[in-house]
Structure 1
Amino acid sequence: MKDDRLRAARRYEHRAPATRAVHAGQYPSEHNGALVVPIYQAATFERQVVLGDGYDYSRIANPTRTALEECVAALEGGTAGFAFASGMAATTTAVLALCATGGHAIIPDNVYGGTWDLFSRITARWGLDYSVVDMTDLDAVAAALRPQTALVWVETPSNPSLRVTDIAGVAALARANGSRLVVDNTFASPVLQQPLAFGADAVMHSTTKYLSGHSDVTGGVLVTADADVAETIGFHSGALGTMGQPFDSWLVLRGIKTLPMRMAQVCGSAQRIAEYLAGHSRVRRVHYPGLPGHPGHDVAKTQMSGFGGVVSFELDGTAEEAAALCARTRLFTLAVSLGSVESLIQNPARMTHCTTGGTPVVVPDSLIRLSVGLESVDDLLDDLEQALRAG
């Protein structure tokens, strides 16, 4: 049955992202004609034979989750997808599947706080060594590679400073070393960037963010086009029990249907906001790859079709002033996470990256991260102006 579904999915290989977002992984004929994939809220399934194809236990596979997995795989240009309970569940599964005790991994020096915690406080205890590297410097990446390097982990654009990594360049280095490259594509979404096309072995998303897009679910996904990687990730997902639940999968699948349109709007709004902040007297520095002066602007143009909806900037002031500014906005909600319909603001050094202080993962105290939502960009600009002026 799975092979038949994959053959059917090829109908969308050459379709535009907006078409794949609506149709990929969804087959009404398999669900009594339902245009929306049902929520299969079942732990176990009746079998006609002891051994054979089909669903048997939802920890291993579930029809609602399968639809989500095939949809994201189609968007990323992969052949296999795996949905998880959170982005960190996906990250943890990838690390455990691709690394082993005595091995080595390379991670960015600008990385999500949860990923830092995983490598520095959990897998390190089990004998996985790691190096922290500026991924924008290919020479630094090459120098950090070892014979036992099993995994190179990349975020691009990175969280929270939106650094841009040359995926193809890092992929070539990893491949020559016999290492696997996994790219956290959460900030870009598959609408703006497809890392597999540039040589990545797997792609990770926190589906909590843009793929879901409505702040009502936590989830993660891994996609690959490599049969060996798919086999080991699939086994580890089932063995570890890190998989996503049916209702969560359904919510993410629903959110994906509007993903291309949402990304188009947030990219346009984020560009205007970045340009506004770049000219403001109270802003020391703006981090947004859509600005020509951004160090990664040229690389981003080669591997992204848009620059995303996240803008970070360093306030020309103290950490306390940055925290106070976050509390003064009226439309930007002070909250962690990103990628939803509502605009969010946060101070990473005190929030998402509070565990990275004094580590090689450097996050300026005055850095403020904006997740631009679907509100009127003029209203958002007015909100930022009053918050900056009031300080």
Structure 2
Amino acid sequence: MTISPEPFFESLFRTAVAAADPQRIIPAFLPERPKGRTIVVGAGKGAAQMAQAFEEAWDGPLEGAVVTRYGYGAPTKRIAVMEAAHPVPDAAGLEGSRHLLRLVGNLTENDLVVALICGGGSALLPSPPPGMALEDEIAVNEALLASGAPISAMNTVRKHLSTIKGGRLAAAAHPARVVSLVVSDIPGDDPALVSSGPTVPNPATRQDALAVVKAYGLRLPAAALRHLHSQAADAPKPDDPRFAGNEVRIVASAARSLEAAAAEAEKQGVKTVILSDAIEGEAREVGRVHAAIAREVALRDRPFQRPVLMLSGGETTVTIRGKGGRGGRNTEFLLSLALAIDGVPGIDAFAADTDGIDGSESNAGAFADYTTTLRLRALGHDPKALLAAHDSWSAFRALGDLFAPGPTGTNVNDLRAVLVR
């Protein structure tokens, strides 16, 4: 099998991202024009690109604003683009939340609110309830990010410590009709969990949030714990009459992007299987499982025959123990996989976040193969020690194997690809 892994993997990444490109997908999901005003609100790492695509496709007057990460803006004419911090909230995000709530206030049943929601909005829309300060919400977010909890559990806590999440933005827009266009980065594509569902409620209760706090040993600020123990933390339920008539449309997801990447690989002559679009768990453990399957294929031609490409999506987690190094879930996945395939020839791997950023550095992910750990040791690095220190970014930087496409304008979670030749 003659194929150059890095260009091949890059072509799959570009195809997966294109399948979730707002310019391509938004026009197919436009709601009917209202008798009254059209207000656009939104949040997420691809919210500016969604806003740009929406206003280009919308045939009628509109106004509004979206909040995105610093450096992720896009030129718009009628929808203001506000930038704030991610993954740890800041004061700019707090002002963004307040502005969105102001925009949807005092509307009528003749008005339409279009919510453009994608991954990243949980951090971009801090809005602490009375009794909590922004510093408290920042501390909550930092505790959640270090906990190793899945995104569904994190967002259950977040929505109960907010005045905008958990459907509250849509409730504030009542009696206007709300149509949410959602780019899902959530395993299973529950729209209520994308960015903690500012316009989409779900049944989770504050008792569920307290159970998450206990299960993951979260050390939250006293003000946050007091709020979770009070009825004031209760979020609107899906059957709340304020949500009657609202619509939610999933416009892009990991499943659709994986299917597009698989079709591209098949077009290039590579047999492809999709393992799952909803894989969760510790990144290093998921790496070991993918490596075990790859080894079985490489050594015994089972459960798939070589050559084969295995794709997966979803969102893994990294539980920080002690002082963490530099890296993200995709590079941690790859370093763990590389250790487990050490010396087994013919295995190449790639993992990247489709929003263009893995963790807090500027890369989306990296490339690895069966020589990764050998090359690291030759440079004087201990791959096991780097993995133990959550310093996978440093490992792939030393090798020159980081993948940094820059912001993509969308976010449908991670793309993982393992090629066995």
* TM-score, normalisation: structure 2: 0.34
Q: Mark the structure with the bigger radius of gyration.
A: 2
* TM-score, normalisation: structure 1: 0.36
